[in-house]
Every structure is written in structure tokens, then in C-alpha cells.
Structure 1
Amino acid sequence: MNALPATEHAPKEFVLEVEALTVSFDGFKAVDDLSFYVDENEIRVIIGPNGAGKTTVLDLICGRTKASHGSIRFRDRELTRMKEHEIVHAGVGRKFQNPTIYEELTVFENLELSIPRGRTVFGALGFRRDQAVLDRIEEIAEFVFLKDHLKTPSAILSHGQKQWLEIGMLLIQDPSLMMLDEPVAGMSVGERVKTAELLNNIIKDRSVIVIEHDMKFVEDIAHRVTVLHQGKVLSEGSMEHVKNDPKVVEVYLGH
């Protein structure tokens, strides 16, 4: 009898494995025994009512908040033991809800400042604006719909364009996992459509976790949806599955 190939029963490998994650603030469990798993090239959207623990989950993954209990493994590295800058260097990038760009600088200058310059002082001092750098900036600017605005002061961009610029500033660092907190908040309908297009292109090379309240946008981008309520998973699956889950309708979508 021939032996089965070694990979026949190999466990599935995920980009991100969150298991039994818990964090308490003064006795209140903001995240309570939370587990979920993100695949390669997946857009995972986390939804739920205010106070459900959504942003806290991102804080835990990026090391801004330390877990009381549980595990966060990213490509077989335990993030709960790492500092914030180590997690960034490992390949995890995060965009906060409000754009954090340098408004006094141009689009080009914002993107140039975001290019990794090495992890040492000598790496930074050795940085040169060569053709490869210029090509990379132009490539990312085109990707985030800002190629025609490279010389534009960032302060005069629309709100949506500022969001795209910050996504570009993350992309130029080439993270394997990007986390975006309400990326289309305050955008026009047209900008939301283009942002959905952008995210669907982004995951050809990486995975993305998105926190969002706009259900139409979620339908346009989500591969899987995790619904949080009181720090726990209330429901998980396709958008079609969760929006028809009576528990989700009762505590979130019904309101």
C-alpha cells in the first residue's frame, strides 16, 4: 500500500492566527476569548456595534495594546511577545481611522518619506533618491489614483484622496498584512467605489483586515466577515451568511 503524500493531512497554514485572545481594562473584558484566522490574499472585514472591540483587536495585533491572555501568530511569529516596531518590520502595517499624513508636504514627499530606509542609522543615511525610488513612488501613486497629484500639497487633497495617500504610504512599505480602520468613512460614493477597486487589487500580494460600518462597501470587498459583539465573535462567514443571521440582525444590522 502506497503511503499518502506528506502534505495530504498537513494543517492549513494561515497568514494570521488569533486564538483565545483576551484583554481587560479595569476588569472589563474589551476582547473576550476571541479566535479567528485569516488566509493568504484574503480581505477579512470586522463589523459590529460601537464598543464591540473592533479597534481594540487591531491595537492588539499591532502591539499598541498588550493582551491579557491568548495568542496572535503572524506567519509563525508570536506577535504578543514583540514590540510595535518589531511587528511593523515583520510585515504588519496599519492605517488608523483618521488620515495621518504630512499635510505640509506634497504627495511625492509623503510617499518618499514612507519608503523603508533600513533599520539602522547607516541604512537611513545611505538612502538615495535613485531611479528605483522614483519608479516605486510613481508606481504606488498610480495604484492609489494619485499619479497626477505627485506635486500637489497634501493639505488640498480631498478627504478620500488623503485616505488613498495614507494607504499608499503603507503599500510602499510592502507589508504582508494591512489593517485599515474605517477606510471609507467620510468618502463620496464615487470614492468608495474606487476604494473597493483598490482593496481588491491590493490582495493580489497580501492580506487585508478592514473595520467598517458601510455595509454596501463590505459587500463589495469582503471574502469573510467576522461580527463582534461585547468582545466576542457573534457570527462569521460570508456577507450573505452574517446579514441573514438572526443574532446579527438583532444586535447590529437591525439598528
Structure 2
Amino acid sequence: MREAIMQASAQTANDFILSIDALTVSFDGFKAVNDLSLYVDENEIRVIIGPNGAGKTTVLDLICGRTKATSGSIRFDGRELTRMREHEIVHAGVGRKFQNPSIYEDLTVFENLELSFPQGRSVFGALTFRRDREVIERVEEVAELIFLKDHLNTDAAILSHGQKQWLEIGMLLIQKPRLLMLDEPVAGMSVAERIKTAELLNTITKNQSVIVIEHDMKFVEDIAHRVTVLHQGKVLSEGSMERVKNDPKVIEVYLGH
């Protein structure tokens, strides 16, 4: 009986694109993430919110291998990420965007997207890379998705802040990750840009799962399939935005301030 239950639990865990179990990371005795368990479905937008110091960015660092876990498990698409290096995690299908845009401002939008095309990312691929019809079509497809098709020949340096954010998202999308992680993607954006970013994220979940760290509650309401609230490295509350924002514990430690 016990064996059957364990097999059923394993099968349930395998149904998720990302399964985090009992994850802990300790820095000089301080547990930035403390016995955290989190499960993300295929094609889901999961938003992680919480006060400063709650461990939100550290969770992303742990998933992408930038920080190594003290204990616990992170399984992505059936593979244990805690045993893998950063570049191996990227190749496995995990894309990460940091808070500030990281693009090549002296290159055009087209060139930024082309540079991120998977074939050109290895040493051999870079040596043999050609701008063929497949590359051009993929760049144009992604540029349209990120609202920059009319700016393909524009230098990235003169884009607005929001357009630079979209370009960096496009540089990840062109690699076709199965999990995309975004840290405060609408910080500094205009209201119109935030609306379009919500539209973008709701579109790309046809092919990707997305984890978003965000403080803008209106934006969270526009995109979240499910919300996880962190506090002191642990899950404080989880569920729909409606459930979370009415949770007395969340109001006390986060929304109430």
C-alpha cells in the first residue's frame, strides 16, 4: 500500500514541468530559502510575490544554477537541476531574464535576435552560422510577437525602456525555452507598455511555462494563473490572485504595507 502511494506521488510530481521539493539554501546560517516546495504546470504563468528579502530572486537563482542549494530538489522536465551547471540548465530549456535589460545596444533589433538564435550559440555553430531563410523567418516571427517587427533595423540603444525589455524577452524566446523566468519585467514601463507585456505573456504560454517575480498587483491580476506568496524564504500563501489578496496573513505581511 505504501509503495503504491509513493508511486502515485511520483507520478503526480512528474506531471509538472517544474517540481521544487524541500528546497533550502543557507548563507552563513541565514536561510534565504527555507524548505520550499513549489510546482509549476505546463503552459502556466506562475507569479511569485512577497516583501523585499522574501527569497523571490534567490529562488530564480537556484533554478537557473546561479546559486547552489544547500538541500532539496529542483526537477525540470524530469531532470534534476541541482546537479547541473548553468549552461547545461540553459540548454535543457530554462531561460532567465534579469531585472535590468541585457541587450547589445550597438546592434539592431534584428542583430540582437539573430545573435541569440540557437545555432550560433556554440563555438562551432558561430563559425558555421549563416543568415538563411530559417533564421530570417524565426527572427521576424519573434519580432512580431514582441511588438518590434517595425523596428528590426533600429539600433537597440534608441528603443524605449519597455521596448528593450521586450527585446530581451525576444532574445530568450528565439531559443524556444520550455520555462521562461522574468524578474520584475514591467518595472519602469508605461501603462500602455504594461498592458502589451501582459498580452505578450498570455500569448507565449501556448508554448512555454513562465515564472514572474512582480510587485505591480494590477499586472499580476492581468497575467497570473496562480500566485505564490513568499515570506522569509517560505510559502506564506498560494492560489488564485483573488484568494491570495484576501488571505489575512498576506495582508498583514505584504499587501497591507
Q: Normalization by structure 1: what TM-score?
A: 0.95
- Tell me: CA distance 1:128–1:14, structure 2 relative to 1, closer, same or farther (3 Å): same
How far 1:162 sits from its partner (Å)? Answer: 0.3
CA distance in 1, matches of 2:229, 2:141: 35
Show the 5 A alignment for 1:73-92: 73-92=75-94
Show the 5 A alignment for 1:21-100: 21-100=23-102
Per-residue CA deviation, residues 17-59 of structure 1 (Å, 9 max, x unaligned), is 0000000111100000000100000000000000000000000
CA distance in 2, matches of 1:194, 1:75: 29
Per-residue CA deviation, residues 156-210 of structure 1 (Å, 9 max, x unaligned), is 1000000000000000000000000000000000000000000000100010000
* AA aligned opposite 1:112: E
How far 1:119 sits from its partner (Å)? Answer: 6.5
Q: CA RMSD in A?
A: 1.3
Structure 2 unmatched ranges of 5 or more: 1-7
How far 1:117 sits from its partner (Å)? Answer: 1.8
Give the equivalent residue in structure 1 for 2:11: 11
* AA aligned opposite 2:39: Y
CA distance in 1, matches of 2:130, 2:145: 23
How far 1:127 sits from its partner (Å)? Answer: 1.2
Give the equivalent residue in structure 1 for 2:160: 158
Match of 1:109 among 108, 111, 117: 111
How far 1:11 sits from its partner (Å)? Answer: 2.9
- Tell me: CA distance 1:62–1:164, structure 2 relative to 1, closer, same or farther (3 Å): same
CA distance in 2, matches of 1:250, 1:171: 37
CA distance in 2, matches of 1:82, 1:132: 31
Give the equivalent residue in structure 2 for 1:206: 208
* AA aligned opposite 1:138: E
* AA aligned opposite 1:156: I
* AA aligned opposite 2:83: R
How far 1:68 sits from its partner (Å)? Answer: 0.2
Q: Secondary structure in 2 aligned to 1:105?
A: coil
- Tell me: CA distance 1:59–1:131, structure 2 relative to 1, closer, same or farther (3 Å): same
- Tell me: CA distance 1:132–1:61, structure 2 relative to 1, closer, same or farther (3 Å): same
Q: Normalization by structure 2: what TM-score?
A: 0.94
How far 1:118 sits from its partner (Å)? Answer: 6.1
Structure 1 unmatched ranges of 5 or more: 1-7
How far 1:121 sits from its partner (Å)? Answer: 2.9
CA distance in 1, matches of 2:148, 2:23: 38
- Tell me: CA distance 1:119–1:98, structure 2 relative to 1, closer, same or farther (3 Å): closer
